[in-house]
Amino acid sequence: MLQGRVVKVYNEWYRVAVVGDRMLECKPRGRLRKGQTPLPGDRAMVEELADGTGVICEILPRRNLLLRPAMTNVDQVLIIQTWQSPAMNLSLLDRMLALAEWENVRPYIVLNKSDLYAEAEEHVRAAIQRWRQDYQQVGYDVFEVSSKTGDGIEPLKRLLEGKVTVMAGPSGVGKSSLLNHLLPQAGQRIGELSEKIRRGKHTTRHVELIRAGEGDSWLADSPGFSRLSVDSIDKQQLDTCFPEIRQESEHCRFRSCLHEHEPDCAVMRAVDEERIRRSRYEHYLEFLSEIRRSEENRY
Ligand code: GDP
Ligand code: ZN
């Protein structure tokens, strides 16, 4: 029996990477537990057959399960953003951060197109600096990179080692360009694939994991978190998806405080005292009302 990683799903076959950089084309055993369809990212026990193919005998417990596109055991997400072209969308950034926290995926913020603002006016540089400090203070690492010049790409490459990584971010921020930098071997193919996806073909295609370094290092070949609804988040736990709000909420008078208009709310106090960035708090409220609306529609 070998342990491996499912990296590709196609026509009822599963490609499993096993020790020694080998790939085994596998079928699942007939009596895999019900509902256990292998997905890219799954860690599996496989048996090699005499004909060189394999059988997936068991799916090991999953760390998480992302939908649309479906994949499992995602360790980290690179949230790609730009300051301009397109303009930074803080609401979208906070949404992706909150969803990553909820799904137990470690988020990293990547500010791409640094070549565009390296020479920008002082006030633009200062605004970027403030933004960066605010998010670092929450605990997020921020990488400034340029997929045009290659600046800052090396530290990103090191981040991929030993992890399963997915990228996310709005269209036009440079996800495909970054993928080409991080996975030069697979580059051409990725460009072609994402072009097909843009044209709406192959919509049921699964993510493929591409080797992104030594050993068990993988990067999904297309962006994740394409479903950006916060509906799946429990409203009582939304504050746990904002690390700085979670931290302050321990000092709220009521355990069930939603930090809207309750008395003695430590979160609102921290916003007033500028210890929590106001835009983050506003997005928290925005997501809270979205979750409420979807709850109301459910009944
Ligand atoms: P995606 O939609 O997120 O996959 O973005 P693309 O990779 O298709 O890039 C969108 C556009 O931004 C293309 O015209 C790229 O050439 C350009 N672009 C990507 N990265 C950079 C960068 O670092 N600097 C500059 N100036 N342009 C970039
Ligand atoms: Zn509160």
Ligand 1 atom closest to residue 147's alpha carbon, by position in its atom list: 23
- The answer to whether the CB of 113 is under 6 A from ligand 1 is yes
The predicted structure's pLDDT at residue 35: 64
How does pLDDT run across 239-270, given as a tens digit for each residue? 999 999 999 999 999 999 999 999 999 999 99
Name the residue of 110, 147, 177 to mutate for ligand 1: max ligand atoms within 8 A of Cβ.
Answer: 177
Among all ligands shown, which has an atom nearest to the Cα of 246? 2
Task: Measure Cα distances from 248 to 28, 137, 252, 263, 267 in Å.
Answer: 47, 14, 7, 14, 5
Among all ligands shown, which has an atom nearest to the Cα of 259? 2
CB atoms inside a 10 Å sphere around CB 156: 18
Task: Measure Cα distances from 19 to 3, 4, 16, 73, 155 in Å.
Answer: 8, 7, 10, 18, 26
3-state secondary structure 264-284: CCHHHHHHHCCCCCHHHHHHH
Query: pTM for the whole thing?
Result: 0.92
- From the list 198, 188, 196, 109, the residue with the least C-alpha distance to 156 is 109
- The answer to whether the CB of 115 is under 6 A from ligand 1 is yes
Q: Are 259 and 267 in contact (CB under 8 A)?
A: yes
Over its C-alpha atoms, the chain yields an Rg (Å, rounded) of: 21
How does pLDDT run across 159-184, given as a tens digit for each residue? 999 999 999 999 999 999 999 999 87
- The answer to whether the CB of 177 is under 6 A from ligand 1 is yes
CA of 94 to the centre of ligand 2 (A): 19
Question: Residue 218 and residue 199: Cα distance in Å, rounded?
Answer: 26
The predicted structure's pLDDT at residue 34: 63
